Structure 1
Amino acid sequence: MLRPLITATAAVVLLAGCSGGDDKASESSSGSDNNGQQASTPATPAVPSFDPPKAFTTAAAYPVPDFKGRELYDDPKLGMVGQVALVANYRGLTGHDVVDPSKIWEIESTAADTTVVSDATDPIAVKVNGKDAAVIAYAEADKGNGTQKPQGLVLVQWIDVASGQKLAEVSTPVSTVNGTGVAAAGMPSLTNLQYDPQTGQVAIGVTARGNLIVKTQNATVYADPQTKKSTVVPAVLPGAVHNGVVAGANPESKTDAGDAGVLLIDGATGKVTKQIPLKQGFLTPLTGGAKHAFFYGTVYAGATISETAALFSVDLSTGTVVKSAPGLSARDSGGYACTWDQVSSIVCTEAAATGPQEILGFDDNTGKKEWGFTSESAGRVVPRVTAAFHGVVYVQTEKQPVLLDAKTGQDLPSASTSGSPSASSNDSPSAGDTPSGNDSPSGNDSPSSGATPSDSRSAGGSDMSLYDGKPASPVAVSPYGGVYGQLPTGGGYGSGDLQSVLVYLKPTA
């Protein structure tokens, strides 16, 4: 039976550490109060953490302001790194510290008036010099200055989420640009981002509109925050990166050659260290892990006018290949999209918008398929995967958010705020699911019965009047909670001024 992930009652915890907005609260411990007594700096309010979280309560709704000149396809990109909820668009990346909501920062995507942003990746959690960092990549076009020709760029930023300061930044030319606007020939687009969570290294797939990219239309940009250098590998799209090794899909040498395979590449130099033939006609990289890169391949049979599909994993150290058969045909699946839990599990679902559905899980340690089922299987609903983190898959069904075990694909029981499984035999929240104790709103944390929409705003920018009351599965998770996006609704800020609403889920178990 499917179990609910988020309690139906949203705790209106505004996370402001509300003390009435008294500026004196920020005085140092060396100061004294009006009675001459030694004053101490108030402690930052605590937020519980669980690794991984298995239950949440809605705790904050941050408005994402619209901005002049925003492109139609500039959808917000969301992330959760440590205790910071993140939202990005073409303008830049904004962080909201959920433990100390007074800490809000924004890093612009570009400071040059001549630069236009045409794409952005999700902000991803990595470590840089032991710090919790977000890495994000932008596709940009520099219109040129003086005699400089317009060129397409891939900009990568690593940001210390605790301070909101850039730890590193690398800008890499990838194409020439002919014309203006985000649809101009040569404007780069980002196909995927592979990352190493322990080193912060990234491998970014990039393609250019038209054939104006140097030597090839597709390429991989490898970038390292330690060296602050990058390498462009032409013709290859990345499937994984770990400890400087990039695995990428190498296309057919010519049409109908059927020789698409995988290359292992030294990221720092761009040198190919191993060629792995897979004899595919079409090969697409999926999300990779720390030990294996994953790919989806098809072979076209002209005699039967059909395609045979296969899933491949490639060991990043040895090049060993494991082949798996998907449950759906190439026509029905449309390929696959995958999510890594940053430990040892890769979970994939079919990419087709309509038709039969499939979900399957791989073990990153072995590269083998461990479980899976389709919508044609009896007794189970194929959910929509929204995130995966440390052994848990967060999914959404038509009725509710649900948890799955990343190793087995089985439903996990709904957890109570105390950390023990709910004793309820149905999908309704039980008494144990209701926040209690420190998880309950108290005093200044909750709006009064006569509160207006403006009263529900916190000093940290949260406005719970924007929350639509419909909890959803998080799209990004850390031990400090999860986030998802919601269309603007309600009062307070004014939905016409907003692009989106960033909803923060506090973990309760």
Structure 2
Amino acid sequence: MLRPMVATTAVTAALILVAGCGGNDKKSDSGSENKSGESTTSATPSAPAAPSFDPPKAFTAAAAYPVIKDKANPFSEAKAQTGMAGQVALIGRWTGLTGHDVADPKKTWTVKSAEAETTKVSDATKPAAVKVDGKDVALVAYAESDKGSGTQKPTGLVVVHWVDVASGQKIAEVSAKVSTLEGTGDTAPGTPSIAGAAYDPETGQIAVGVSLSGSVSKYQTVYADPKTQKSTVVPGMNPAAVHDGVVAGSKGAADEGSADGTVLLVDGASGKVTKQVPLKQASLKPLATSAGHAYFYGYKDSSYVSGTKGQALFVIDLSTGAVTQTVPAAPSDSNVEVECLADQATSVVCTSRTVQGGALEIVGFDDATGKKTWGYTNDSGGRVVPRVTAAFHGVVYAQTEAQPVLMDAKTGEDLPSASSSSSPGSSETPSSGDTPTSSDTPSASDSPTGNESPGNGDMGLFDGKMLSPSAVSPYGGVYGQLPNGDGMSTVELESVFIFLKPTA
């Protein structure tokens, strides 16, 4: 039986300012500004201390961040995505990246995705947490279309931002041309979209897979490094991993039935292919993660639409090209979706489901060796395959139909709860540090102004049903929630991001 993730009953009300999402983004007297957005932080902020656990194993809902609908694109299917870097909760949208300091609600910032009016964003990666020069940095990549100027043709670009989350300042930006657009419309042939992205959390290097609208050409991979602020475009590859400057990806055309199941190992800085690893698969799907190995899901049957017999998980060593193959315990006769998440320590957990959403299997890997260490199917006695939402430093965070749960990333075993019930025990009783101080009490400057939507200063947007976090750091977790009827008008809201403060 899966162990439920404990939630304490105390709920900390936090004043939330809407920054960059339709609310008031007024800079304070000590605020700073960069070329790509506005920040309410100073250049050298001294953020209040936030409680931290590495990894956190119990949470309480502490803040609700409203995400205002994009009025310029009200019918867009692009939804905001969550992230957590250090003690800053991240909200990523096509329009840009917003950070909320969870210890000091007054400290918010926004970095725009693009400044020029001639540039239109067509896709974005989920915000990721990396380290650059020891700093907590948010990493995000955008697919953009530049209409061009003068006699220059419109072009498709991949633009990568690295943002210091403590200050909200962009510390590096890399732009790479991936196509020439035939026209200027939103769906003009050559418009780029992101097929996948892998990153190295220790260096901030990223490999972004790009496909092009109206094109039957192969994928492209854009490698970018924050230290050199340079990029390399590798044609004909969709990435699965990047580590210490080495990129791994699948070779082949954009259609999955290309019958070209080969893995390429590439030197990111030069774009030179150093090794080819044929896997003899009709189709090969990269399972891009932040892992030290490259993970792929292969199909032997080229008629993958009518069936996917002969599936296998392949793990590739980025140094040697050595292959470890794991055959699923529960192969499916229907199309299968596979997702892998790395805990950025020693483990990777992969889950498979049918396209209709039915859970099939969960498998854990030792990322040092690429070998399977545990796993079970939905038919295993007494256990269900949960929906894994995040993995961090030895803990798997997941959601079942009944509640959020925790699992050991190394063994797959249920983790013992911090308490046997949801009622606060002695260890969960708010300490003096949890009691609001004078700095926590809203001041006159914190009060909502006429530019802000009502309901920002309380937890009225939280629906009371705590879910498993989709992003985790030692300072807590965050996940997206559908708009609740309380608080500001749900007509204005796309979603609400709930910050979970760690309590154990």
TM-score range, shorter chain: 0.7 to 0.9
- Residue 176, structure 1, aligned to residue 170, structure 2: no
Match of 2:200 in 1: 196
Contact kept in structure 1, 2:291 and 2:348, CA below 8 Å: no
- Residue 143, structure 1, aligned to residue 147, structure 2: yes
User: Which protein is richer in helix relative to its size?
Assistant: 1
Aligned with 1:393 (options 384, 391, 396)? 396
Look up the equivalent residue of 1:327 and give its one-letter code.
A
Contact kept in structure 2, 1:287 and 1:340, CA below 8 Å: no
Q: How many Å apart are 1:59 and its aligned residue? A: 0.6
Larger radius of gyration: 1
CA-atom RMSD in angstroms: 3.0
Look up the equivalent residue of 1:203 and give its one-letter code.
A
Q: Deviations over 1:157-202 (max 9, x none)?
A: 0000001000110111111223444433221111111111111100
Match of 1:373 in 2: 376
* TM-score (norm: length of structure 2): 0.86
Match of 1:91 in 2: 95
Matching of residues 68-217 of structure 1 within 5 Å:
68-70=71-73, 72-211=76-215, 216-217=217-218
- Give distance in 2, aligned partners of 1:165 and 1:335: 37
> Given the superposition, is the C-alpha separation of residues 480 and 132 from structure 1 closer, same or farther in structure 2, using an over 3 Å criterion?
same
Task: Count matched residues.
Answer: 468
- Give distance in 2, aligned partners of 1:43 and 1:90: 30
Match of 1:491 in 2: 486
Matching of residues 211-360 of structure 1 within 5 Å:
211=215, 216-251=217-252, 258-300=259-301, 307-332=309-334, 334-352=336-354, 353-360=356-363
Residue segments in structure 1 that go unaligned for 5+ positions in a row: 17-25, 28-41, 416-421
Q: How many Å apart are 1:79 and its aligned residue? A: 0.3
- Give distance in 2, aligned partners of 1:306 and 1:158: 39
Q: How many Å apart are 1:434 and its aligned residue? A: 4.6
- Residue 436, structure 1, aligned to residue 430, structure 2: yes
- Residue 508, structure 1, aligned to residue 487, structure 2: no
SS class of match (1:307): coil
SS class of match (1:52): coil
- Give distance in 1, aligned partners of 2:408 and 2:183: 49
SS class of match (2:460): helix
- Give distance in 1, aligned partners of 2:289 and 2:84: 20
Q: How many Å apart are 1:358 and its aligned residue? A: 1.3
- Give distance in 1, aligned partners of 2:48 and 2:172: 30
Match of 1:384 in 2: 387
> Given the superposition, is the C-alpha separation of residues 459 and 105 from structure 1 closer, same or farther in structure 2, using an over 3 Å criterion?
farther
> Given the superposition, is the C-alpha separation of residues 259 and 88 from structure 1 closer, same or farther in structure 2, using an over 3 Å criterion?
closer
Per mean C-alpha deviation after superposition, the further-off stretch among 467-476 and 457-466 is: 457-466
Match of 1:48 in 2: 51
Q: How many Å apart are 1:255 and its aligned residue? A: 10
Match of 1:9 in 2: 9
- Give distance in 1, aligned partners of 2:269 and 2:326: 31
> Given the superposition, is the C-alpha separation of residues 62 and 156 from structure 1 closer, same or farther in structure 2, using an over 3 Å criterion?
same
* TM-score (norm: length of structure 1): 0.85
> Given the superposition, is the C-alpha separation of residues 305 and 468 from structure 1 closer, same or farther in structure 2, using an over 3 Å criterion?
closer
Match of 2:24 in 1: none
Per mean C-alpha deviation after superposition, the further-off stretch among 250-259 and 85-94 is: 250-259
Contact kept in structure 2, 1:13 and 1:441, CA below 8 Å: no
Q: How many Å apart are 1:261 and its aligned residue? A: 1.3
Q: How many Å apart are 1:289 and its aligned residue? A: 4.7
- Give distance in 2, aligned partners of 1:84 and 1:272: 38
Contact kept in structure 2, 1:44 and 1:99, CA below 8 Å: yes
Residue segments in structure 2 that go unaligned for 5+ positions in a row: 17-28, 31-44
Match of 1:35 in 2: none
Match of 2:20 in 1: none
Look up the equivalent residue of 2:93 and give its one-letter code.
N
Q: How many Å apart are 1:380 and its aligned residue? A: 0.2
SS class of match (2:491): helix
Contact kept in structure 2, 1:289 and 1:346, CA below 8 Å: no
